[in-house]
Each structure stands twice: as C-alpha cells, then as structure tokens.
Amino acid sequence: MRALGRKLVQSNLPHLNAVILNAGIGGWTGLNWPLAVWTILTQIRQATAWPMFKLGAAGLITKPQFPQSRSSLGFEEPVLGEVFCANVFGHYMLVHGLMPLLRACGPDLPGKIIWTSSIEPSDYNYNPNDHQGLKTDAAYEHSKRLTDNLALSAGDQPCTADSVREYTATTPSTRAGSTRAELSAPVFHLGHPGVCTTTIIDIYAILMPFYTLGIYLARWCGSPWANVTIYKAALAFSWLAFAKPAEIKSKEFAYTGSNKGQVKWGSSTTRWGSTSVKPTEVQGWGLNGTGKPFTDTWWAGHVGRKYGAKDATVEDVEEFIATGATAWKQMEQLRKEWEARIDAYEAKQEKPSSNGSLL
C-alpha cells in the first residue's frame, strides 16, 4: 500500500478527485443450506438483503507483512485480521498515503474518500474490544459496521475531529517530495451496492443461475436493494464520485429534510429495473444522524427496512458517535504503529553493511 501511494504521489497526476474503496473478502466458509432455502421461500426480501444463513470463520489472519527469511526484523510482527485488513485497514493505510493528491483538490470540489459498506451490518456487529474482528465468526459484517462508524462519524464531530485531522494531514513520508499545494481537506462519503450477483460468496457455478433468480424474485416482490447486476450496484459509487457537493446535499435534503449529517447512500432498483440512489438506514444513526423519525419515508413499512428496525433516537446517535470516536482512535493508533514498523524495516534495508553492500 505504501509503495502504491508513493508511486502515485511521485507521478505527474495533479490531484485525485475521488478514491473509491471497494469491498475485499467475506471470510465465509459456506452456507447453512436448510436455513437459506427456508428463509428465501418465506421472507425473500429480508433473506436476500439481510441473510442469516452465511457461515463464517473466526480468527482468520493475514500472511506476515514482512519477509520472514531474515534472521531478525528488529521487532515482533503482530497479527492482522485478514478480513479487517482486506476490507478496512488496507484501504485506510493507502488513503493516508494519497493525502497529497487528495488535498491538492480545490476547495469548491474537495477530494472524496468513498467507503464501500454493505446493506447488512447491525449495531451489534462491531465490538470495540475486538477491533480487528478476530473473535467473531461474522468478521465481514464486523468490518462493514466499522466502516459505517468511521465514515459517518468523520463529519463535523468534535470527538472525532483530532483523529480525522491527524489522518488527513500530510507528513514528510506521505509527501514523498511532492510540491503540490494543499488547497483543501478531503471529505468522506459512504455507499453500498445493495444486493447483486458476485463471487464473494463461494458457491458452485451450477447454483449461480438460481442465486441470480432469487435476487430477481426479491426485486419483483418489492425489495429496493435487489440490483442483481454489478453495473446497477455501482450506481451509488459512480454518483458519489461525480456529483458536486451541492448536488449531494440537495438530494440529502430532499429525502431527510436536512443536510446537516452524513448519509449512507445505496444503489436501488425498482421492480422494472429503473435505478436510483437512495439513503439507507443505519442502526443507531438513522438516515443522517439527526435523530429524526423517518417511518413515513419512501420505503413505507418493511419493504426496504430490516425487520425489527427502530428509528434512531438522539441518545442512539450520541452512542454511535462515541463508538465512532473510539474506532477512529484505534485506527490511528494502529496506523502509526504499522508505519513505525515499516519505517524501521526500510531503514534496516537501506543501512550499509561493513563491506559496503546493502542489507
């Protein structure tokens, strides 16, 4: 990630208008087929958007980040959660390295950091005491709830401001000789692709047509999130990347009656295939963190809402922001620790040996 960041910063790109951080891996081992069949037959809209039948593995870790053939690195390398690293931390490290390019955008069109979440995560999925999701068998949902916490609390929140400011600042290491002017701070956006057919869940190829048919049936039964194709699922991210700030705020106001908060934007499709971008409920946050009830909004009832969901209260929003502040502090601590390890490793590689060669 650091090498890629440096390569782009040292290139002749004048700036980066937007970085879309796409999903990584699921960490699933299979499906509970009896439960999958039953829930799809009895509650297809809910079963496709919020499946309860995925089987996940706990404790998945990445391969070592540094070469292990050397006798000593000079430090002990800690483990990294595989799903956490692929879905969150790798993106997080890369974007910090790209800050000189993102901050080179003008103040009227600041650089955009667009995180990819999912329709799935619930408030119980992220556990601050298990930040990397090593103890849960729902590491994917954990990583996506963490993504929600980070992106939605990164706005104008006093308790996250210091961490966000540190993260979005440039350093001598990230500048890498860049002479670009710093014109603005980047902004954070959050989107999700709804439900579409991909290979992130490993199932037999012979079952893929039935998988696709199931999502079509969910759409025809009224699910607004059943996009089926990845082309339709990408709409929210394309729109966030190209829309001007005023257009995003205007759409937020049209749906929520306010433009004071952050929104999780989802790709949506009607029964007949017409696409649009719609705000998505986040447990504990609501539509935009204002604590405003929204039971009378476009989805009416349970068509596009998880069964049992409740409007977020002001107290819920405060707790969500507090969790976001904790998550930001942990991410920044982890980033600084790993950057220090990388710096130490690079310094060791560049240190001349007694015979004048490089170690």
Task: Answer yes or no: is 359 within a domain.
Answer: no
The pLDDT value given to residue 224: 92
Residue 188 has phi, psi (to 5 degrees) of: -105, 140
- Output Rg (C-alpha) for the chain, integer angstroms: 22
Task: Answer yes or no: is 325 within a domain.
Answer: yes
Instruction: Please state, in angstroms and rounded to a whole number, the distance separating the CA atoms of residues 358 and 247.
Output: 54
pLDDT, mean over the chain: 89
Q: State mean pLDDT over 19-24.
A: 89
Asked if 315 and 144 count as a contact pair (C-beta separation under 8 A), the reply is no
Q: State mean pLDDT over 248-252.
A: 93
The pLDDT value given to residue 158: 93
- Among 54, 112, 144, 264, the one annotated catalytic: 144
* Residue scoring higher pLDDT (231 or 311): 231
Task: Answer yes or no: is 358 within a domain.
Answer: no
Number of structural domains, the chain?
A: 1
User: What pairing do the DSSP bridges indicate for beta strands 187-192 and 28-31?
Assistant: unpaired
Domain that holds residue 298: 2-350
Instruction: Please state, in angstroms and rounded to a whole number, the distance separating the CA atoms of residues 122 and 144.
Output: 9
Q: Is 117 a catalytic residue?
A: yes
Q: Is 140 a catalytic residue?
A: yes
The pLDDT value given to residue 164: 97
What is the per-residue pLDDT across 64-107, written as a single tens digit (0 to 9) for each? Answer: 888 876 546 667 889 999 999 999 999 999 999 999 999 999 99
The pLDDT value given to residue 79: 92
What is the per-residue pLDDT across 187-208, written as a single tens digit (0 to 9) for each? Answer: 999 999 999 998 887 788 888 8
How much of the chain, in percent, has pLDDT values that exceed 70? 92
- Among 140, 167, 255, 345, the one annotated catalytic: 140
In the predicted model, is pLDDT for residue 299 greater than 80?
Answer: no
What does pTM read for this prediction?
0.93
The pLDDT value given to residue 303: 65
The pLDDT value given to residue 346: 83
Of 128-132, 138-142, 144-148, 307-311, least confident by mean pLDDT is 307-311
The pLDDT value given to residue 257: 81
Task: Answer yes or no: is 357 within a domain.
Answer: no
Q: State mean pLDDT over 30-59.
A: 93
Task: Answer yes or no: is 355 within a domain.
Answer: no
In the predicted model, is pLDDT for residue 17 greater than 70?
Answer: yes
The pLDDT value given to residue 73: 65
List CB contacts of 182: < 8 A, sequence separation 6 or more: 100, 103, 104, 170
Nearest to 232 by CA among 206, 268, 199: 268
Nearest to 103 by CA among 180, 194, 162: 180
Helix (H) or strand (E) holding 195: strand 195-196
Q: Residue 210, SS3?
A: helix
In the predicted model, is pLDDT for residue 298 greater than 50?
Answer: no
Residue 338 structure tokens: 């790993």
How much of the chain, in percent, has pLDDT values that exceed 90? 70
Task: Answer yes or no: is 82 within a domain.
Answer: yes
* Residue scoring higher pLDDT (270 or 74): 270
- Among 54, 112, 117, 118, the one annotated catalytic: 117
**Torsion angle of C-alpha atoms 272, 277, 281, 285, degrees rounded to 10:** 180
Task: Answer yes or no: is 75 within a domain.
Answer: yes
Residue 282 has phi, psi (to 5 degrees) of: -120, 125
* Residue scoring higher pLDDT (329 or 314): 329
Q: State mean pLDDT over 58-62.
A: 95
Task: Answer yes or no: is 189 within a domain.
Answer: yes
* Residue scoring higher pLDDT (347 or 26): 26
